[in-house]
Amino acid sequence: MTVDALYALFELDETPEGNEVPQLSENPQLHVFLLLDQLLPGQSSVGDAQHDQIFLSAPLDRLAPVISRDQVIDLMQHGVFIDEDSLAMFVQSFGMCGALSHEDLT
């Protein structure tokens, strides 16, 4: 995929239905981090944060050649969008997205 094609998918008015990407976590934010780690191993997850939005550390020029259309749709379905030429997403509290229990953290 090219960077232009990546932008074009993210610029769609509606997120396309369905994808063939297996869920890596029930936590939507953790799923995004794990998927990006598979695509860009060793890349840090978060590049910057502002209030309730985080910018993901996934350079679009490095991501475009290794990501599939289904994976882009999956990221979109998990709340990822492009802002200021970076992937970004709004942060939800763990309680809101049903994330981690005390046992998960110990």
The answer on pLDDT for 98 being more than 60 is no
The mean pLDDT of 25-44, rounded to a whole number, is: 90
Predicted confidence (pLDDT) at residue 60 exceeds the cutoff of 90? yes
At position 85, the amino acid (one-letter code) is: D
Predicted pLDDT at 103: 56
Query: Which secondary-structure segment (H or E) carries 89?
Result: strand 86-90
Alpha helices in 22-101 (DSSP H): 28-39, 60-63, 69-77
pLDDT digits (tens, 9 = 90+) for 22-34: 889 888 889 999 9
